[in-house]
Structure 1
Amino acid sequence: MAASYHARSNSLPSRQHPIVSQIDENLNRLRASQSASTSSLIGHNLSGLQDLHECVDVLLQFPLTQQALAQEKQREMVEELLDGSLMLLDVCTTAKDALLQTKECTQELQSILRRRRGAEGLANELRKYLTSRKAMKKAICKALKNLKHIQNKLSTPGENGAVISVLRDVEAVTISVLESVLSFISGPEAESKSSRWSLVLKLMHQKKVMCEEEQKANKFLTAEAAVRSCIKSENMKHVENVQKELQSSELSIQDLEEGLETLSRHMIKTRVTVLNIISC
């Protein structure tokens, strides 16, 4: 890391400048927790990613940074990063849409369960919830493949200036956090279907195989499990459990929605700043 830090300092504002060390600290912190598979840890990583993008926004205001990005020899790499940022925004939108879809079918099912006092005749409504979740998982599988495509481009070697290297590192960490968010929302099924990734990512996925406690912490999975149990039994006790799990999953949805919305705004701001720099 010391060598990387020294190399960066050659064209970044200053080796001693706090924003440079803050970026490196945030990158290291997010890399260390990229296998997060619980709601609280994923929320923490989203918050950390927002902090990282705020630091990048500050970095992009320095004249030295802007001069480095405006160089003609860096144009191809900058364009590649801009393409990647657009794809990441699309992935972020997919994640937000998945949460919105899950929230809507969750609230609809909750409303139906409140109106009906018994379990009889609820099977079709419960199946609608699972069908909606299944459709959402297909969209997430596609988004995970798009993340893989961006990742492959980032792994392509090339002569990069210090600023480009920082932005590539930030993009790589953003991919990792979004991947964990998508996998958490959909559960392990979409994750396994998209596992034709590199050996490194496969090993990372293996580390993320949820233990029983982590599965219980994933309110999306526990809600699905409760719904399936209720379909099989149509027992009033299971209906009450479905209501409880749906309420818990709605809280997880709200936290993730807020984190993704804030992240999207930061990513858009960074993209606009870079576009303005190279357009001058």
Structure 2
Amino acid sequence: MAAFNPKFYHQYRLRSVSLPTTLHPSTVKIEQIVNKLKTFETSSSFSSSFSRADHLSNSLVGLKELYQAIEELLALQITKQALSQHQDNPRVKALVEESVTFIDVCNNSRDTVMQMIQGVRGLRSSFRRNKLGELSIESDISEFNFSRKGLRKEISRSLAKLKSTDNNRGIHLHLFNRSEDHQILTAVKALTEASLLTISTLSSLLLFLSVPVMKSKQSKWSLVSKLMQKGAFAGDQGQRNKLNELENVDIALGDLLIHSSCKENDAGKDKIESAQRKLEALETVLENLENILESLFRHLIRARVSLLNIFSH
């Protein structure tokens, strides 16, 4: 994952969109959703490179709404005619090709989330069965972390696909002749805005899922150092509030490992209960992300099918 700079994916600052609104209300809806997503993205500030789940959920829901509006735009006869007449344009072709990447990455992201949910549930079950100080807890935490490391490889591949898609885009509206039908400009600009926001949003999601995993077998002093860097012992609730759900789980698990030699007592029970609460919160947000991704996946497929149907006639 070292090859990816998290800041890169938060640098999409699109020009203010102004689509023609005289043809159909869908163009107005697209403009409103795009500007809402851009405003939300630029106004959101995080001390961590890894967004919180609530931010991601809002962005993904907005993206789903954007593709719903695009489906309405693509259903218009005038849009179909405009795109059909320009289907050999390399910029239009590229938009169709990008849809394959987005469907693939969305599907892989959903699979990753589902696997993480299973890992969280397994760890929660282990904590209910065992006590602090038992080797099985350390073993289960190690297994959970090992599983996450494996998922990071698939996440890395998905991030590379999105980065390659953006680098190879070659779609710029100023390359279109100003005398061309404004309906093709409307359609291509809407699809281009959607593509840019899809790249940005899915990249943020993947970065959230790729939070670096603490090594279970490192020394306790090393664990303490890492936890201090994350603000675990700072007593600064404001700093802790800036961490996302995965980072909070890492802190709770790291704290458990530091005290793994302790016998079962009130302090040990508190550590277990704290980890359980963090895992429960993570499971809840992951389940929410899974549901949103499932819905977004369907809309991405519908948008691609609409484009293919237009070009097949």
Using structure 1 for the length normalisation, give the TM-score: 0.82
Whether 1:248 aligns to 2:281 is yes
Residue identity in the other structure for 1:277? I
Rounded to whole Å, the distance in 1 between the matches of 2:239 and 2:108 is 28
Q: Secondary structure at the match of 2:131?
A: coil
Q: Contact 2:57–2:289 (CA<8 Å) still a contact in 1?
A: yes
Whether 1:71 aligns to 2:81 is no
Equivalent residue number for residue 182 of structure 1: 206
**Farther off after superposition, 62-71 or 112-121:** 112-121
Q: Secondary structure at the match of 1:111?
A: helix
Equivalent residue number for residue 143 of structure 2: 128
Equivalent residue number for residue 68 of structure 2: 54
Rounded to whole Å, the distance in 1 between the matches of 2:101 and 2:309 is 19
Equivalent residue number for residue 294 of structure 2: 261
Q: Contact 2:155–2:210 (CA<8 Å) still a contact in 1?
A: yes
**What is the aligned-residue identity percentage?**
27
Q: Contact 2:16–2:35 (CA<8 Å) still a contact in 1?
A: no
Whether 1:165 aligns to 2:189 is yes
Compared with structure 1, are the counterparts of its residues 3 and 44 closer, same or farther at alpha carbon in structure 2 (3 Å cutoff)?
A: closer
Residue identity in the other structure for 1:170? A
**Farther off after superposition, 264-273 or 222-231:** 222-231
Rounded to whole Å, the distance in 1 between the matches of 2:161 and 2:299 is 20
Rounded to whole Å, the distance in 1 between the matches of 2:56 and 2:242 is 14
Q: Please point out which of 91, 101, 105 is paired with 1:87.
A: 101
Rounded to whole Å, the distance in 1 between the matches of 2:192 and 2:160 is 19
The 5 A counterparts of 1:132-171 are: 132-157=147-172, 159-160=175-176, 161-162=184-185, 163-171=187-195
Rounded to whole Å, the distance in 2 between the matches of 1:69 and 1:129 is 48
Q: Secondary structure at the match of 2:75?
A: coil
Rounded to whole Å, the distance in 2 between the matches of 1:28 and 1:252 is 26
Bigger Cα Rg = 2
How big is the shift at 1:2? Answer: 10
Equivalent residue number for residue 24 of structure 1: 31
Equivalent residue number for residue 219 of structure 1: 245
Rounded to whole Å, the distance in 2 between the matches of 1:91 and 1:137 is 14
How big is the shift at 1:4? Answer: 5.8
Which has the larger share of helix?
1
Equivalent residue number for residue 200 of structure 1: none
Q: Contact 1:69–1:75 (CA<8 Å) still a contact in 2?
A: no
Q: Contact 2:17–2:35 (CA<8 Å) still a contact in 1?
A: no
